Amino acid sequence: MVPTVLDTTTISAVDTRIAAVPGFRAAAVSAGIRKSGRLDMALIAADGPCAAAGVFTTNCVRAAPVLLDIAHLKQNPAGIRAVVVNSGVANACTGQRGVEDAAETARLVAGALGCAAQDVFVMSTGVIGVTLPMEKIGAGVGMLAAGLEPDGWAGASRAIMTTDTMTKTAAVRVTTPGGVYTVAGIAKGSGMIAPYMATMLAVIATDAAIDAPGLQTALSAANGVSFNQIVVDGDMSTNDTVIALASGASGVNVQTGADREAFGAALTAVCTALARDIVLDGEGVTKFITLHVTGAPDAASARQVAMTIATSPLVKTAFFGCDANWGRILAAAGRAGVAVNPDRLDLWFAAGEAPEDAGLQLVASGTPTDYREQDAAAIMQEKAITVRLDLGLGDAVSTVWTCDLSHDYVSINGDYRS
């Protein structure tokens, strides 16, 4: 990502590693929750109270930790001290016991850190309908608290993985006239990915000093153009949670409009990098597709068309088969619930994620151009492909990141038990 300059403030390019975030420590352990014995619990702890913000799944079937975190955020938006995450068990659809187990997990962490239970967020990911092994959780919390380190982020990013094949970390540094601060985050997600939001978890930490309402505004805006713009399979999870914590340890205050603009840009850069990595690591993915819908009458219509195309099994399998079957894209656009005029549709394919030119035009005014099939086929062989569909109805645009649908996706999900 190209560094951004806002007046006298500079935002660095995104780093895929997190060295440290002042005011925070992290740890990871194997608590025996996962059958494989791999790392399965992570703890991110702040040295003092943090401003907090969160966005959560809109699925009506919400996991116990999601309900707990929503309550804790409402009760204590300026005093959060920690986020604890377990993988292997989602603690979703587990009734009253699940609620009690999530609350007990928060109490265990609070006891280990010397804070209140409402100061702790809890996240879980894994199989639905399975209760947490609380003896293992308790032992894991003790080990996590003892192992907290400023550079523990790499281990934490591994511990939260389920079907992920790679860790997802991102960090930027913002240099301001008043000093330097960091925005960094880790995420997990590979399948069950679709807004709003996805089977994903993310924890973002910053040492900037920003109040909880300002942090919430920035996170909601960043989430809207990152995690809510990705699709792997069109399914929505029960556990999706993105948490942001601000320690203020840098002493750099985010107060003015320019300050908030810079902070928002940095937070968006981190969220976008993590969101893209989720698609790149999608279950069975062989193609990364950037989909631009332009010329829409309004933003909502642009997004609706883009999401309909991005979640279409026929479109996704065509990309897997390297088949430039553009008719599937137009058909998906036509059923999106937007009054599309087929005679105004223009469509381009291009190789790469950010091509320098528009690429190969396949459709003009709703009918095929005289493009060569072998040229389209060559683009479809690429690992990264950009698609642009212009509706010819206005000026609104939407960009969505999606992928193909392969045999491996079926195999992974046909045999998935964490």
CA distance 250 to 208: 6
User: Residue 124 in contact with residue 31, Cβ under 8 Å?
Assistant: no
- On the question of a cis peptide bond just before residue 196, with omega within 30 degrees of 0, the verdict is yes
User: Residue 106 in contact with residue 69, Cβ under 8 Å?
Assistant: no
User: Residue 391 in contact with residue 295, Cβ under 8 Å?
Assistant: yes
DSSP codes joined into one string, 176-198 = ETTEEEEEEEEEE-SSSB-SS-B
User: Residue 161 in contact with residue 122, Cβ under 8 Å?
Assistant: no
Question: How, if at all, do strands 4-6 and 288-296 pair?
Answer: unpaired
Amino acid at 98: G
Q: Which of helix, strand or coil describes residue 168?
A: strand
Q: What share of the chain is helix, strand, coil (3-state, %, to 5)?
A: 35, 30, 35
Residues that are catalytic = 199
DSSP single-letter state for residue 238:
S
User: Residue 279 in contact with residue 288, Cβ under 8 Å?
Assistant: yes
Report the interhelical angle of 299-310 vs 326-334 (nearest 10°).
Answer: 130
Overall size of the chain counted in residues: 418
